[in-house]
């Protein structure tokens, strides 16, 4: 009863409606399987997106997630939903269907291809490649680095088409072609960190789904008596909404759900990723693994090895970005100390509606994390650094008072000092081995 009261309160308060009005489209809030859209980061409303006229971007490091794809595992729930509807086809024909469910009279089917990029996913990457070329016309490279996943390699190729045009003089290599003992691109460290796995996230998701799915199941079974929806069917319908969107930009299922129901689905996706590869993964494991990316970023921007390039184009997964953000302490909902009661971590027992950790904004399909190093003749002294995540500047509040409130940036030196945790970790040092169980 307590959870029902909480969910009822959520749907009746201005929060859900106001949040979705601010961000324009409720269907941009499907967690990490949302369509690509410009982010709305916390504390970023006053940030100026344009650099002063005397500033020049000297170096860029791009980490890009693959584009919209078909389901991975979730297709089983979609298939069970389709079977339930098929078995109840005669019942559905006799019912007086509400407008939003009228499409069921003609039946519902799915032609989603698991794992693969969709047509819209290809378009996202071409568009991003074109935009990137317009943003940084003075920077180029002859190599692109990618995860060895097929959809990621394909994403890199479509981006290259937009950035370089036809017959580009650029090589696409994968992490398998590199000699690095641990990669900052691959979605999970594998043998480098044997304790790292996604089971914690799956358990958190299971706990939360038991809170909210039965409420939707009961509502739809009242609207469609005799069909006999299960909670798994409803899960399948929510996934059908997201993956139809990823495949063709629309879904009849999306109109079936109310804003508060989609808010609960979004939260489910957030606690899944938070417990799988971010802040609530036990033993600080995600920040530890994310230090590999942060140290690579610092190595390149300081040219500590003398081989830095002006432009890095690299392609990975949502996990890649979330691990890096975890090590940086960005999009964090709580402080790692005893005085964190006002900002508790995400919980599978209670929805945190005002959370910073929102994968719809951080890692939708085709998410892109752009790190800029820039210099200025008068506005700033020394090299500066800023982060543009999904077309919006993400304030580097880890720099504390050293962050410029206008640009959300900070000096490279301040950034390095703020990341002493990462610079104090090396692959397979004592802390790494103890945390990862090597």
Tens of pLDDT, residues 251-268: 999 999 999 999 999 999
Q: What is the DSSP string of 171-207?
A: EEEEGGGS--SS-SSSSS-GGGSTT--SHHHHHHHHH
Q: How far apart are the first and last CA of the chain?
A: 45
Distance CA 304, CA 422 (A): 16
66, 128, 211, 235: the catalytic one is: 66
What would the mean pLDDT of 85-106 be, rounded to a whole number?
A: 97
What confidence score (pLDDT) does residue 82 get?
A: 97
Lowest average pLDDT, out of 33-42, 136-145, 171-180, 380-389, goes to 171-180
* Nearest partner of 385 among 419, 409, 418, 401, judged by Cα: 409
270, 318, 333, 404: the catalytic one is: 318
Lowest average pLDDT, out of 40-44, 136-140, 217-221, 278-282, goes to 40-44
CB-based burial label for 9 (10 Å; 0-12, 13-18, 19+): exposed
CB-based burial label for 40 (10 Å; 0-12, 13-18, 19+): middle
What confidence score (pLDDT) does residue 4 get?
A: 42
Which pairs with CB-CB distance under 8 Å and at least 24 residues apart come from 396-404? 396/330, 397/43, 397/330, 398/328, 398/329, 398/330, 404/380
- Known catalytic residue: 66? yes
Could you give the count of Cα atoms lying within 13 Å of 299 in the half-sphere of its Cβ? 14
* Nearest partner of 172 among 139, 148, 137, judged by Cα: 148
Using a pLDDT cut of 70, give the percent of the chain over it.
Answer: 92
* Nearest partner of 69 among 245, 201, 233, 316, judged by Cα: 245
Give residue 46's pLDDT band: very low, low, confident or very high (50, 70, 90). Answer: confident
What would the mean pLDDT of 235-256 be, rounded to a whole number?
A: 96
- Known catalytic residue: 318? yes
Reply yes or no on whether the pLDDT at 89 is more than 80. Answer: yes
What confidence score (pLDDT) does residue 43 get?
A: 76
For residue 146, what is the enclosing H or E element? strand 143-146
Distance CA 202, CA 189 (A): 18
8 A C-beta contact, residue 70 and residue 112 = yes
Residues in the chain: 438
What confidence score (pLDDT) does residue 297 get?
A: 98
What confidence score (pLDDT) does residue 18 get?
A: 42
- Which is it for the CA torsion 306, 308, 314, 320, positive or negative? positive
Contacts (Cβ under 8 Å, ≥6 apart) of 414: 399, 402, 403
The C-alpha angle with vertex 363 and arms to 428 and 256, in degrees rounded to 5, equals 140
Distance CA 373, CA 112 (A): 40
Q: Structure pTM?
A: 0.92
Structure tokens at 29: 């809030």
Task: Write down the domain spans for the chain.
Answer: 1-33+71-105+197-280, 41-70+117-196+285-436
What confidence score (pLDDT) does residue 255 get?
A: 95
Does the 41-70+117-196+285-436 domain belong in CATH 3.40.50.1240?
A: yes
């Amino acid at each position: 009863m307590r959870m029902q009261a909480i969910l009822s309160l959520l749907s009746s308060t201005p929060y859900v409606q106001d949040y979705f009005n601010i961000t324009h489209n409720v269907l941009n809030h499907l967690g990490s399987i949302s369509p690509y859209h410009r982010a709305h980061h916390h504390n970023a409303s006053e940030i100026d997106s344009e650099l002063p006229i005397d500033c020049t971007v000297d170096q860029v490091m791009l980490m890009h997630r693959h584009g919209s794809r078909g389901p991975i595992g979730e297709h089983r729930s979609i298939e069970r939903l389709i079977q339930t509807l098929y078995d109840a086809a005669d019942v559905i024909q006799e019912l007086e269907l509400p407008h939003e469910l009228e499409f069921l009279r003609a039946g519902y089917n799915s032609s989603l291809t698991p794992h693969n990029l969709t047509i819209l996913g290809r378009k996202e990457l071409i568009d991003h490649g074109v935009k990137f070329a317009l943003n940084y016309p003075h920077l180029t490279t002859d190599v692109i680095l990618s995860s060895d996943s097929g959809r990621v390699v394909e994403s890199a190729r479509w981006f290259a088409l937009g950035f370089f045009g036809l017959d580009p003089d650029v090589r696409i290599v994968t992490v398998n072609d590199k000699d690095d003992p641990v990669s900052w691109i691959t979605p999970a460290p594998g043998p480098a960190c044997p304790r790292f796995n996604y089971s914690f996230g799956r358990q958190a998701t299971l706990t939360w789904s038991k809170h909210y799915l039965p409420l939707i199941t009961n509502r739809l079974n009242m609207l469609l008596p005799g069909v006999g929806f299960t909670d798994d069917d409803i899960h399948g319908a929510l996934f059908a909404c997201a993956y139809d969107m990823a495949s063709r930009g629309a879904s009849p299922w999306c109109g079936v759900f109310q804003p508060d129901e989609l808010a609960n689905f979004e939260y489910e996706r957030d606690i899944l990723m938070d417990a799988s590869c971010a802040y609530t993964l036990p033993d600080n494991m995600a920040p530890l693994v994310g230090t590999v990316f942060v140290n690579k970023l610092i190595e390149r921007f300081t040219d500590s090895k003398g081989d830095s390039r002006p432009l890095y184009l690299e392609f990975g997964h949502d996990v890649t970005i979330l691990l890096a953000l975890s090590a940086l302490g960005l999009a964090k909902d709580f402080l790692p100390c005893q005085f964190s009661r006002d900002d508790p971590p995400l919980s599978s027992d209670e929805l945190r509606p005002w959370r910073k950790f929102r994968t719809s904004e951080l890692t939708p399909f085709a998410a892109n994390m752009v790190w800029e190093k820039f210099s200025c003749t008068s506005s700033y002294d020394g090299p500066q650094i800023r982060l543009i995540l999904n077309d919006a500047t993400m304030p580097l509040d880890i720099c504390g008072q050293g962050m410029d409130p206008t640009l959300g940036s900070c000096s490279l030196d301040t950034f390095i000092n703020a990341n002493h945790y990462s610079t104090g970790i090396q692959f397979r040092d004592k802390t790494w081995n103890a945390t990862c169980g090597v």
